[in-house]
Structure 1
Amino acid sequence: MPTRRRRTTVNRTAIAVGVLAATAGLFLAPASAGAAAGPTALPAGQYTLTANYHQFDAVNSALVSTLGTAAVHTVMDNANHDRQALPSSFSPSGLVTGFRFSSGDNSDCRSYPQGITTSRDAVGTTNSGTYDGHQLVLVSWYTRDECGGDHERSRITLVDWDATYPNKYRKILLVEPTGSAATPNFKDIPIHAGGVSWFGDYLYVADTGRGMRVFDMRRILRTNTGGTADQIGRQPNGVYYAHNYAYVLPQIGTITSSTTSGTNLAWSSISLDRVSRSIVMTEYTCQSGCTAYPNRAPRAVRYPFPAGATTFAATTTASQALQLPWYNLNGVASHNGRWWFNSSGQKKLHYWTPSAGPTTYSWVSGGEGISYWEDTANPDLLWTLMEGTGNRNVFAVEQAAYDG
């Protein structure tokens, strides 16, 4: 297999502007530094996870036998959507690269991108961060039954991010197995999918009131595309449809969150910290006035994986818990003792370490999940995205531009 290089096709003008602005102290200067109190420690022992990776084993085995699986490289060989370049006017500080989805996905008022993770999360820098031969950016989405309506289903998008491959991506529907081993079936997962982390072969998706749902990237199923847009699961004639998706990814298990703090966690966003081999989560809350979200200070909690494992133990106790002074948090990342929090409602990116304290930067509108991209040959990056209709930029900045 030829060595694959990281795609670095970017808006060079935007980078030049960003570098010039950084030199002039225009963009890189924080909006406020040390002006607000930082996070404070909470008792980590109050927060635990219970893991079940075998919840749907019997039905999933039957689905695999019935439908067959498609490897990630097969899915990407059949990628059928073209991504676009970032607009030339988009130039946040430290911008390195990025893209937009197709015009249809960029303007869709029913579906919204939320979480982000990459094959660098999955495998680190091994083989230039490729999974099954592809360097990938993965984005989670939720879909409403109508514009402004109720949550109807969720999906992921796999985006090729390697100069060897075309600028393509593919949508995969997330489904929950139902039925029995004799008559296996699946149904939609109508969650917000606000955060996503890929570690090894496992994909962890935030489920607001529960914790996380778990999927296995080796178990992508093939489905039929000849049905109607509203058909899902096994039909009376034995054919399986999935809203005309050619591929579905069935849930394999659930990571259930519990706490003795008296207030359950709202799992809004998650991210993988490869250094400490843990998943960190944070809550979307409001300072006041919200009806759909809690009106209280948010928390961030770190849950470690066992040494050498990409699955949680049967029971996991948090190794760190924080009370946060910021609100409207849609994204979180942590790496080597450093934290980043994306406040979409306030257009701020908050950076914090226990020793240096907080720094706050002006940020993009509609900001969502964050994923830390390790790199042995180039500066490390923060990948993130924007959810606003018509303005769905997926982009990477140098993390050093936002580290206080």
Structure 2
Amino acid sequence: MDVTRRTLLRGLSAAPLAAAAGGLVLPSTARAAGSEAASEFRVSMREHPLEPTSYTYPSAIAGLANELAAAPLVQEVLRNADRKAVANPRWPAGTKPSRLAYSFGWDPDKNDGTTGQWYPQGVSSSYDAYHGPIPGTNTDAEKRAVLVSWYAKGAIWNRGARVTFVDVTVPSRPRYRHVLLVEPKKSAGEPYDFAPVGVHAGGIAWYGDRLYLADTRGGLRVFNVNQMFKVATPPKNWCGYRAMDNKYYAYDCQYVLPQSRAYDNAGAALIYSQVSVDHTTAQPSLLVSEFRRRGKCRVVRWYMNPQTSAITSEEAEGQRTFNRLKVQGAVSVDGRYYFSVSDGPNNRGSLYRSRRGRNTPMWHGYLSIGPEDLSYDGDRDGIWGLGEHPRKRHVYVVGR
């Protein structure tokens, strides 16, 4: 998101009547009332217009649907996983997490585990999405999947972010495929198009048909997993519509997932570093936490509508602070909070936990080197985590 668009959106958030007069769809506002009276966080949901008066993301996605083949998640993307992960790989001495229950490594015949151009960050699972396996029929029934978000850096920084769909239905034979995250586009007189989503992708949460992606300073971006599309066999240097052959491409990915809406960071300046789902609250909820090098980590919760997968609550559990820095991920289960904290590229990170109402979490064991986002999996009663650094980036479950 460029500075001009971010400024525009903040202006719209501050003046909802003006936005409504311009014809935008303005769903209900979701906000979390903080425990500190001076710190109330408000997230406003808007269908972002790429050009203020011409179209919205949903209308652009509808246009793309007329040009591209739809790719339902279970029926196609998982079934056509083109890479083989390694179940329970060897961990170098002194790097294994405490209470390790399961892990997988990236395909050794590809460069996913070693590349310095893509870095994994967020993790979520089908348990987050469906409170169990993926609904399906016939051979797709009872599928289980893990999602991992990555951001591009170095020479390919402009390729944005991608999400990897990993089929872990058979834990001993995990398979996966990368999907590029894109922003729908439409210019007057031009075909519907898309471009990479340029975010850090520090955390993801899959809930129902929506994938929530942390946009560090911008709020939450939302993608509908039922609106993926298949593009042409990829030339690695092109993304979007190519007029010379009238086809769509997505670099080295054959599937794209377009952004469908967003929650703008319209209130106080919360840092959207990570995001996770909690099914153990009275109503399913979404937890957002901050990475900070100074001060205290803040955690804010919003409640979810199980029928629409949308954020709906006007008042939520609110703001909490924790006396730890460099928090990379946070989940809550039955009122207990778990945090991953990093300790540089050569040392194992740590898992901390805290009871509700206590601001100082206690050390609970080691995580991998370079730990990132967390996600609770009730099917395993464990916590998914992952490492980001090349040659140290296993994805794993630890007992809680």
Pair in the same fold by TM > 0.5: yes
Of the three residues 269, 275, 298, the one matched with 1:270 is 275
Q: Distance in 2 between matches of 1:130 and 1:162?
A: 13
SS of the residue corresponding to residue 227 of structure 2 reads coil
Call closer, same or farther: CA 1:319–1:88 in 2, change over 3 Å. Answer: closer
Q: Distance in 1 between matches of 2:38 and 2:388?
A: 32
Q: Distance in 1 between matches of 2:219 and 2:112?
A: 28
Aligned AA (2:128): D
**1:10-49 matches, cutoff 5 A:** 41-43=35-37, 46-49=40-43
SS of the residue corresponding to residue 369 of structure 2 reads coil
Deviations 1:375-400 (A, max 9, x none): 2xxx511011010111111000112x
Of the three residues 84, 88, 91, the one matched with 2:86 is 84
Structure 1 alignment gaps of length 5 or more: 1-39, 288-295, 400-404
Of the three residues 226, 229, 249, the one matched with 1:218 is 226
For residue 139 of structure 1, report the CA deviation from its aligned partner.
0.4
Q: Distance in 2 between matches of 1:206 and 1:301?
A: 13
2:85/2:173 contact within 8 Å kept = no
Aligned AA (1:57): P
Q: Distance in 2 between matches of 1:164 and 1:195?
A: 23
1:151/1:192 contact within 8 Å kept = no
**1:245-264 matches, cutoff 5 A:** 245-260=253-268, 264=269
Q: Which residue of 2 aligns with 1:20?
A: none
Compute the TM-score of the two structures, normalised by the length of structure 1.
0.78
For residue 166 of structure 1, report the CA deviation from its aligned partner.
4.5
Structure 2 alignment gaps of length 5 or more: 1-33, 49-55
1:98 aligns with 2:103: yes
For residue 311 of structure 1, report the CA deviation from its aligned partner.
0.7
Deviations 1:51-76 (A, max 9, x none): 13574111100101110211112112
Q: Which residue of 1 aligns with 2:150?
A: 141
Q: Distance in 2 between matches of 1:372 and 1:226?
A: 35
Q: Which residue of 1 aligns with 2:336?
A: 338
For residue 199 of structure 1, report the CA deviation from its aligned partner.
0.4
1:280 aligns with 2:274: no
SS of the residue corresponding to residue 74 of structure 1 reads helix
1:48/1:318 contact within 8 Å kept = no
For residue 190 of structure 1, report the CA deviation from its aligned partner.
1.3
For residue 298 of structure 1, report the CA deviation from its aligned partner.
2.4
SS of the residue corresponding to residue 226 of structure 2 reads coil
For residue 361 of structure 1, report the CA deviation from its aligned partner.
3.0
For residue 150 of structure 1, report the CA deviation from its aligned partner.
4.6
Equivalent pairs: percent with the same residue? Answer: 29
SS of the residue corresponding to residue 160 of structure 2 reads strand
For residue 111 of structure 1, report the CA deviation from its aligned partner.
0.3
Aligned AA (1:267): Y
Of the three residues 109, 113, 117, the one matched with 1:110 is 117
**1:56-95 matches, cutoff 5 A:** 56-72=57-73, 73-85=75-87, 86-89=89-92, 91-95=96-100
Deviations 1:172-220 (A, max 9, x none): 0000001159621000111100000000010000000111110001011
Q: Which residue of 1 aligns with 2:304?
A: 305
SS of the residue corresponding to residue 59 of structure 1 reads helix
Aligned AA (2:220): M
Q: Which has the higher contact order (CA 8 A, sep 6+)?
A: 1
1:58/1:180 contact within 8 Å kept = no
For residue 319 of structure 1, report the CA deviation from its aligned partner.
2.5
For residue 230 of structure 1, report the CA deviation from its aligned partner.
1.8
Q: Distance in 2 between matches of 1:56 and 1:316?
A: 25
Q: Distance in 1 between matches of 2:77 and 2:193?
A: 21
Of the three residues 360, 369, 373, the one matched with 2:377 is 373
